[in-house]
Every structure is written in C-alpha cells, then in structure tokens.
Amino acid sequence: MSSQKYFRVENMDCASEEAEIRRAIDTVPGVRGLSFQLSARTMGIDADAATIEMTLAAMRKAGFKPQPVVEQPETSNASAQPNASISNIGKLVTALCLAIGAEAIGYFAPDDMAWKAAGFGVAASAIWFAGFDVYKKGWAALVRGRLNISALMTVAVTGAFIIGQWPEGAMVMALYAIAEAIEARAVDRARNSIKTLLAMAPEEASVKDAAGQWRAVPVANVAVGTIVRIRPGERVPMDGKIIVGTTSINQAPVTGESLPVEKKEGDMVFAGTINENGAIEVEVTALASNSTLARIIHAVEEAQGRRAPTQGFVDKFAQIYTPSVFAIAVFIALTGPWLLEWTWLQAIYKALVLLVIACPCALVISTPVTIVSGLATAARRGILIKGGIHLENTRKLKVIALDKTGTITEGKPKLVHWEALEVNSMDAARVKVVAASLSGQSDHPVSRAIAGGLVAETSTVSEFKALAGRGVQAKIDGVNYVLGNHRLIEERGQCSTALEAELKKHESQGRTVTLLASSAQALGFFAVADTIKDSSREAVASLRTLGVMPVMLTGDNQLTATAIASVANISEARGNLLPQDKLDAIKSFQKRHGMTAMVGDGINDAPALAQADLGIAMGGAGTDTAMEAADIVIMNDDLRRIPEVIRLSQRTHAILWQNISLALGIKFVFLVLAVFGSASMWMAVFADMGASLLVVANGLRLLRVVV
C-alpha cells in the first residue's frame, strides 16, 4: 500500500477550500490520491517527492500555505487534537458572544460617538475571534482576482463596517465561522466512518519467539512469517493463514457477512475480524500496514479523491454562480437608487445581503458529504467502490454479465466421476497419475477439484504452460500431455462419436468435463460438479426487479452453461468463450443495450472487465489482483451485493439532487427577499447556515441506509 505525506493547511476551513485545493492540484500530473481532515486542517498527498513539490507549489500559488506534518495526523495528533478542538470552540463561543454584544450596543446604546466606538471595537473583536483567517483569505483572493466564498464574506463584512452596519458584520462573520466548523465536522464524520473499522484491529499480537514462548508485541513490529496466537473472543491482529486449530470467524468488518465463517488449517483470516470459539495459531502473511482492512480503507480514501459527475457539475456551476451573483450585487448597488428610488445606503446594504446569501457553501458541500457517506456505507457492507463516479453510474446499468465459476456457483467444484478411456497406450492407473500431476500444477478451481479428488502419486512435470480459456499442457517423462476442456480436445481432432455422446451425458447434468490427452489420442475424462449458490437465484431475481438483464459468460461448454443458467433463472448464457470472446460479448451488449457491467474474478476476465463500463470483482478479501483489477470489489462471494450497490447508487443520486434543489431553492427565496423584502445580513447567514446543515444532514442519512 502506498504511503502519504501529510501537511497542515491553516487556512483550509471547509469543503469549499478543499474544492479549491483540488482544482489547483488537478493540473499536476502524477498525484495518486488525496485525503483531507478538515477539522484538523490537514491533508495527505500520495505521490513521489518531485510531484509533491509541484503540488505544494500549486497550492501556494492558489493562496494556501501547507506545512509538513511529521506523522499521520490520526496517530500523531491523537492526544493534541481534543485540546485544539476545545480551543477552537472557545474562540467561536467568544466571537458569538461579542457579536451579540455588538448587536445589543447598536440597538440599545445612546447614539453618540463613544458608544459607537465601543460597539465598533466589540464588533472588530468578534471578527478577530471568529474569522480573521477568512477575512485575510478573502482579501488574498480579491487581489488574485478570484471571487470565492471567502472573497464574498470579506467584501460583505467590509461593506457593512463602511456603511455603519458593524453589528451585522460581526454577526455575519461569527455565524459563518460556526457554520464552517459544523460543515468540517460533518465532512470528517462521513470520511472517518470507514476508518473506525481500522480501530478494530488490536495494537498488540501474541507472538511466538525463538524459545517457543508467547509474548505481546506491537503489531507494527511483527514481520511476515511470524506465528501469532489468537484465543477465543479475541480480534485477529494481522492477516494470516491458520496453521494450528479450527474456529469460526466473524468477518463482518471486512466482508460484511452477518454470520461467522468456519475456518480450518490452511484458511486465511483477516485483521480486525473476531475469533469466535477456538484457539488458533496463524502465520502472518501481510504487515499490519498492508492488511486487507488497511487496503480497503486506503482504497476508500483514494476513491474520495475521484470526482463524481454531479460533484464536477456542482464545482463548475459554483465557479460561474459566484462571480455572476457578485456582478448582480454590484448592479443593484449602482442602479438601485436610480431604478427603485432607494437611498445609496439601502442599495449598498441590499447588495451586501445579496453577497452573503449567495455564498455557495451549501451547494458545494452538498455533493462530497453525500458521495463519501455512500462510499463508507458500501465499505461497511463489504463492497469496495473505487470512486464516486462508479457509485453514481451503477444505477444506469442495463446488462450485467456474470462469470459462472465462483460467481454464480460456489466455486468449490468436486470431482464426481472420472474414467480412463479404453486405449492400449495407457492403463487407468497411469491416466490417474498423469492427470493428478497436471491438475496439481494449476490453481484453477476445476483443476484443484480434480487434483483433490484423485488423491494419487504425481510425476515430475516440465515445460508446464497454461492455455488461456482451454486448459494446460506439459511434459511428463518426455511425453507431451494436455489437460483441457471439451473445446480443446475438439480443436485437436481427438473427440470420437462415442466420446462425444459420453461427454454430453455429463454436460447436460451441469457438470464440467475436463479431458486428458496425449499427442495421439484422448486418454480419459474427469467430470466436476459445482453447485449453484442459493444467493445467486435471489440476486438474479433482484436484478430483474431493478430492470437489469443478467447474462452468463463462461469458458465452460454450452450444455453446462445452459444447465446452470436455467437453475439460476438466467435467460441468456454463452459458453465455450475464450477471453477474447468475452470481450466481444461485452462490446455486443454495450452496442445493443447500453451500459454493461462484467462480474468476474479480476484475473481470467481481465479483457472483459476492462472493456465493460463497470468491472466488478468477486471474492476480493485478501486478493491483491482483484482489488486492483475492478472498479467495484465484492469482498465476499455474495452476488446479492450487486443489487445492493444499484439500490445504493439510486438513493445516492436521489439525495444528491435533493441537496442541490434544497441549496438553490433556499438561496432563490432569500435572494428575492433581499431585493424586494426586508432580509438582513444576519438573517442571510442563518439562511446559508441552515441550508448547509440541511444538506449535510440529508447526505449523512446514507450512513444509516439499509440496502
């Protein structure tokens, strides 16, 4: 897993500044990922040293001042952050009290210079405590010709003081600072909801030392290959393979499975999961920083840096919206006295109110909170979505192409029948040895089933080679053999009429048949059966209900594909497909139906996964390749997670547009009140803050959604 460099950005207060930083960095090539902690005012940059320097230069040019942080903020500032938070709250409370005091002086105090000077001083103090950083950022933005939120607030507050409305200027800045603090907390809550999973992994592991004694060691110091002991009820400290003992493991933090999974010697366990009922010894297979759980969290953090379509639209809209409103405010200030018979002070005041109302905080924050909440909710269900764009686009799927083995079926086939053909060149015992030798060299589920079912002595294999979509070939004792599917033997011209009839008998029962052949003839066949998952039927039914057409694409023979598809209630199944054939099938579905997803293992189906509009890998827990290959990774083998993603995508899209409508609707109402009614500046800030809180609360609903 790649590491990040962390920086403190003092003048990064809310999602709007984060958006500005992202826009500034967009032009820098080579940035792999960004992470933000708004409440701590820190950010992480995942890039090489030269790219980081370019990134920091782009930030400084945009008016930000990043300073390096020695350690990751979550660990280095764990004890300091609460005190900093208390200090910030104290400043905001002080600013609000001073702003109220300024309002009281302006309303109740006698109209003389001494009281005005006192009120002015109290108002200036409120601004100092609440948002002097905002004020400075606003002036810096104006100097650079950028009309961002800080610039609007700075102009509004300065104008209020110039026309004698200093109490309202102070209240505007105090309320704005409070709103920013709430927004930062809300965004961090959404982002950190997945990181709470990492805290589930214990900080120490019980490690077996050279003398055979058990001792507690920090997980950060535990090397790969170390033996650790996990007692019943304890959490698994690191990823590893069980070497002693059997148990059941609660894997909910990684895969989202609600029921414990039985584990035996040779099975993998993952950091953060819970050992339910048996003492086990585990050989560590990954460092704590590279555990499956840590990789999930890192992938979600990177996903947050990828802009969703709606988020990109909102950012572009805000770039046009803010200068436009500023221009309208200037127009009102200059023409109000002529067109509407206002006094100059009235016109300027209404223009300033308009600037405050126009702040696009609610609009800008409406999308990241919603997207991040959706990503976090999916991750807690064992669904890793690599970016807001995939979360949004999943709802548009028309076709989902499913691989057979391990996706629709259990992926744990068993050898149910084998037979040596009546040939003179080799007896049944030798057929068994050769088949066991070849199948033992492959990690394909069917080959593993054959090797496990034959339980025979093996011979030395040389020149072993995988034949994509067909099988394997190798030399044993100087003789060339192939162990492959029906298609391969047909291509070699080694299928007789009698053999074809025998194979079809097994294939019609949904069995996968693999054949052993020499250069001269077929020597034997092996029938493997794989049962369909109960969850597959339910998932297929859910996909149909959602208006998505499920199809099956498999390298297995057509008879087996048809039999399995019939049980799963899939109307279209294509068998005998090579990787290129699957790729062509995806292109065909895209052309005929529209947006198409491919669901596979992330390895054999790589071309189809790449071509599909959405690549989905199944069974990604502990599999680096699956995590890298697909846009969405289902951390267990439950196909029902795919309809869940579609429903989550639909709800995310609905909430996004609810938030945009709320933000713009509230703005429009108060814009009308500002021009033709009696809206004041502090009322405008309340409206802006209210809209921000409303869209934040609406976006955070996705953290509690049941899909």
Catalytic residue list: 403
**Amino acid letter at 563?**
A
- The CA distances from residue 369 to 15, 582, 633, in Å, are 9, 38, 22
Strand 614-618, strand 596-600: pairing: parallel
C-alpha span between 472 and 315 (Å, rounded)? 53
Paired tokens of 548: 């998505």
C-alpha span between 574 and 659 (Å, rounded)? 43
Cα-based torsion angle of the residue sequence 166, 167, 171, 172 in order, rounded to the nearest 10 degrees: -30
List helix spans (H) across 384-467. Answer: 388-393, 428-439, 445-454
Pair 689, 175: CB distance under 8 Å: yes
- What is the distance in angstroms between the CA of the first residue and the CA of the last residue of the chain? 30
C-alpha span between 59 and 43 (Å, rounded)? 12
Q: Which residues contact 289 (CB under 8 A, 6 or more apart)?
A: 1, 220
C-alpha span between 705 and 707 (Å, rounded)? 6
Work out whether the CA dihedral 277, 281, 283, 289 comes out positive or negative.
Answer: positive
Going by C-alpha positions, the residue among 335, 357, 359 that lies closest to residue 346 is 335
CA angle in degrees (0–180, nearest 5) for 706-641-290: 100
- The CA distances from residue 596 to 382, 540, 585, in Å, are 22, 15, 10
Strand 268-269, strand 240-244: pairing: antiparallel
Going by C-alpha positions, the residue among 509, 502, 558, 506 that lies closest to residue 532 is 509
Pair 578, 555: CB distance under 8 Å: yes
Backbone angles phi, psi at 275, to 5 degrees: -80, 115
